[in-house]
Amino acid sequence: MTTTERRPNVHRRQRWEDWLGGFFSSSVGLKWLMAITGIGLLLYVLAHMIGNLKMFQGAYEGGEYAIDLYGEALRSLGGDLVPHESILWIFRIGLILAFVIHIGASAALTKRNWDARGTDRYEAQRHYAAANYASRTMRWGGIIILLFLLYHLADLTFGWANPDFVYGAIYDNVVASLSRPPVAILYLVAQVALAFHIYHGGWSLFQSLGFVNPRYNVWRRYFAIGFAALIFIGNTAIILAVWTGAVA
C-alpha cells in the first residue's frame, strides 16, 4: 500500500465495548441484545396490560377494588419472608436494566449507521425512502415512549404529576388522572407510538436472532400486527372507559 492510498476506517473499541466483549459489541451482538431485551419488554407490556384490565372489574362485595388488591399482591410478593416490596423492586431493577440495554444498543447501532453512510447524501436518502413508516419512526417512537414512561411513573407510581394521588389507591388514582382530557390525550398518543414500536420490534426481533426463513415471514408479520393490536386495544379501552365515565 502506498502512502497516497486511503486507509480503511478501523472501528476502535470504546470502554463499554471492551466490557461487553467481542460478540456483544459487534453490530450483530447489539442486535441480539436489542432482541433479547425487547422480548422481555414485550412480556412486561403484556403482563402490565392484563393487570390493568382489572380496572373493569370494579369493586368486590367488600368494597375493595380488584386492581388495588392486585397492586398490593405485587407489593407483597414473598410474604413475610422478605421485606415489603423487595421482590417487586428486583423486578423493577431488572426492567430498568432491560430498558437501559435496549436504548443503549439502539443508540450505538444508530451511530454506526450514520457513520457508515458518511457524507453520501444520496445513499442516505435512498435508504430512508426504502424503509417503511414503522421502521423510519422506530427511534423517534422510542423517544416518545421513554418520555411518556417517565411521566407515567410520575403520574401513577410516585404521584408527583397527580394532585389527587393516594398511595395504594390504584383505581382512584387512574380515574383521577385519566379523567383530565389533556392527560387522557397524552396517554392515547403514547399508545399509538407504542403500537408502532411493538409492530416493528415484533417483526424485526426474529430477524435479529437469525430466524429469517422466507417461509415464516408471513407468521412474523401476523405476530407483529396481532401483538401490537392486542396491546393497543387493551390499553386504549381502559383510557377511553375512564375518560368517558364508563369506569368511574
pLDDT digits (tens, 9 = 90+) for 44-82: 999 999 999 999 999 987 889 999 999 999 999 999 999
Tell me the pLDDT tens digit for each residue of 196-245.
999 988 888 887 777 777 887 888 889 999 999 999 999 999 999 999 99
Supply the pLDDT for residue 126.
47
Domain boundaries of the chain, sorted by first residue: 27-54+61-243
Please tell me the pTM assigned to this model. Answer: 0.82
Task: Report the distance separating Cα 177 and Cα 183, nearest Å.
Answer: 7
- pLDDT of 117 > 70? The answer is no
pLDDT at 61: 74
Tens digit of each residue's pLDDT (9 = 90 or more) over 160-198: 999 999 999 999 999 999 999 999 999 999 999 999 999
Mean pLDDT of 135-146: 78
Per-residue confidence (pLDDT) for residue 118, from 0 to 100: 62
- The yes/no answer on whether domain 27-54+61-243 falls in CATH 1.10.357.10 is no
Cell of residue 42, nine digits: 414485550
Q: What angle do CA 223, 226, 232 make, to 5 degrees?
A: 135
Bigger pLDDT: 192 vs 12: 192
Question: Per residue, what are the HEC states of the chain?
Answer: CCCCCCCCCCCCCCHHHHHHCCCCCCHHHHHHHHHHHHHHHHHHHHHHHHHHHHHHHCECCCCCEHHHHHHHHHHCCCHHHCCCCHHHHHHHHHHHHHHHHHHHHHHHHHHHHHHHHCCCHHHHHHHHHHCCHHHHCHHHHHHHHHHHHHHHHHHHHCCCCCCCCCCCCHHHHHHHHHCCHHHHHHHHHHHHHHHHHHHHHHHHHHHHCCCCCHHHHHHHHHHHHHHHHHHHHHHHHHHHHHHCCCCC
Q: How confident is the model at residue 129 (pLDDT cuts 50, 70, 90)?
A: very low
Express each pLDDT in 26-45 by its tens digit: 777 888 888 999 999 999 99
15 contacts: CB under 8 Å, gap ≥ 6: none
pLDDT at 22: 62
Q: In whole angstroms, give the CA distance from residue 153 to residue 75.
A: 16
Contact between residue 92 and residue 40 where contact means Cβ atoms under 8 Å apart: no
The band of 120, judged by pLDDT with boundaries at 50, 70 and 90, is: low
Mean pLDDT of 146-171: 94
